[in-house]
Chains A and B, each alone.
Chain A
Amino acid sequence: MGGLEVEGLRAYYFPADRPPIRAVDGVSFELKGGSSIGFVGESGCGKSTLGLALLRLLPSPGRIVSGAVRLDGLDLMGLTEGEFGRSIRWRRISMVFQGAMNALSPVYTIGHQLSEPLIYRLGLSKGEARRLSIEALEEVGLGGDLMDRYPHELSGGMKQRVMIAMALALRPEILIADEPTTALDVIVQAQILNLLKDLRERLGISIMLLTHDLGVISEIADAIAVMYAGEIVELGPSDLIYSSPKHPYTKGLMAAAPRIRGGSKIASIPGHPPDLGNPPKGCRFGPRCSAAIPACERPPPMVELGAGHSVRCWLYG
């Protein structure tokens, strides 16, 4: 249950009179049921687009160009819009969006918005939906008294919890969490992460976490995928990635994270991410890489390093 296989997924944005922006350019990974994977990378690396693409919520002018997505063997790309909307979106795969600040409608109460999927998708009555919504609130550690409040009356952390409760309303198998802790202070961050972990254990959902914060990943992810410029550059179990990062970019990320007992200097990665409308022909990290070799003029393939660890770099194959 909740096993996702993604192969060669490409999702581009096609703005008027400009070259297409290749936001997600050939992403492949596997999410085992009940486990969690964290996608880490700078903003603009494509992780949000990946999440939206998986739920077919890409804003125009975005489109999925190619690729295969299988949920427990079911080919999702073959489904029509209607079928996907009815049976997959929010039901089997759900999402907590970036910026929960704006993801709740300001003119309806929390209770109303929690009840909406129950009423419209499951056909429950208002009374039943209300009951279940209160339960959902309690599940995420909030009181039922929030049912009649408005989003602007809630703190950031509370809103985030409501978003999570809303995403889980139909008991999906997979939850995609896009930057669930951004703009929250550290204590609330920890609370949210604990909540996610707790939900994973109790409900057995698979979690796909998208974030730029290595610290968040370390808390919750079984596997880590490092994304750069629309591609996965390193993929593997989290302890392996942490203990021995292989890709120069991953190494750079690790080094850039401030440590309590580390040196006073924070190493940063020089340069900036490429223009996805016109990405480099070879390795996309090449221009910024301190270990670049002539081979990097050609795009490197994903290289298996064993124990589920793979890396996209000429240095290793």
Chain B
Amino acid sequence: MAETVFAPWDDADEKPLIRFRNVTKRFGEFVAIDDLTLDIYEREFFALLGPSGCGKTTMMRMLAGFEDPTEGAIELAGQNIAGVPANKRAVNMMFQSYALFPHLSIWDNIAFGLRRESSDKAAIAARVEEMLKLTRLEKFARRKPHQISGGQRQRVALARSLAKAPKLLLLDEPLGALDAKLREATQFELMDIQEKTGTTFVIVTHDQEEAMTVASRVAVMDEGRVMQVATPTDIYEAPNSAYVADFIGDVTLIAGTAKARSAPEDTAPVQEAEAQTIPEPTRAPQPNALGIWLHDKVLAPVIGARKDIVRQLPPPTVQDMPKPETPPGGVEITWAEGQPALIALDGDQTFDGHAVKLALRPEKVTISKDKPQAVNALQGKVIDIAYLGNLSTYHVELADGTMIKAQTANTRRVARRDITWEDPVWVSWSGTAGVVLNT
């Protein structure tokens, strides 16, 4: 299984397709890109994510050839591309505004790039037809851009930029102009096309959900610097800074002072936990007489004879059992007078004595009316409930005024919800739920 995972960034022998080497870009006094070093690999779907003005568009324009770096070098397939004009680069770009030529038909728009480098009419026509098919636009080939819908225009822009089979495709906020439903569908279409063509995609977006959905790796940028480059899972689950944690998704940040906890001993209590007696699995419902008769008479010729086995429910998982004592290791964070220290088992012990922030994702925080059996449990009052349809986010205020967000899936109807405004509640999370970050 491990071989099929696409992760060239973990492979030391893999040569990156694009290398930013200490690239700085200044516009007058303004530093748009600040000493940036970054590798992007072939066949990657790489997302540049950040708020507007963070330099992500400048990076893209430098790749496309519309801007040159002030300092440093950008290598494409091992060659420095500074000074190579945009029309001589094996890089194509899909513009945010799509930049479709309004006086040309869809067909001619897609053929535009091909006509610049070849005069073989048959080959151009074949390639255009292929692109039209890939983006399901065959029916619209003869129309002008203003005669088709926004989603179709987006696909024309994609087809046009892919037509020349570039080594690298740049997508500048490709889905920004589409409505939410269409955007979601198009994200999957983009991923599908990227896989089919095997082109390296670099996408610029300010929409973190979009970046997380489509990208193999995400670079979170702020003020011309890359804060973190990692897979979407790592960015979300293991952000390396409070900025990244806060930028990606919803988070509660609790500031405090870290203190190393005693390291796990060799007589690991984990083994004890495993040695615990697991209760006999209870028996699962068995087929009744009618079911047996039906199987033997009707189904047996089709799916074979009935196997006379005693079905059993799987053994209860460890979480269902009474909570074992808090394992040692990690750090504990003292954060407020009269409140218990918060335990983070994954916390880096070198933070000992430093000011840190504990980042908690709302969906990893449980809310309950009774005191739960959890490593971290705090008491508070429900101030606000954000109802999102499938989820509800509870804003719980602790005694000292700290707000903690807890999220639960709305498996019940709202009317039967047992927690409401002003209710005294407990918020709790496991020892591994929080991420300890340097401030």
Partners in one complex: no
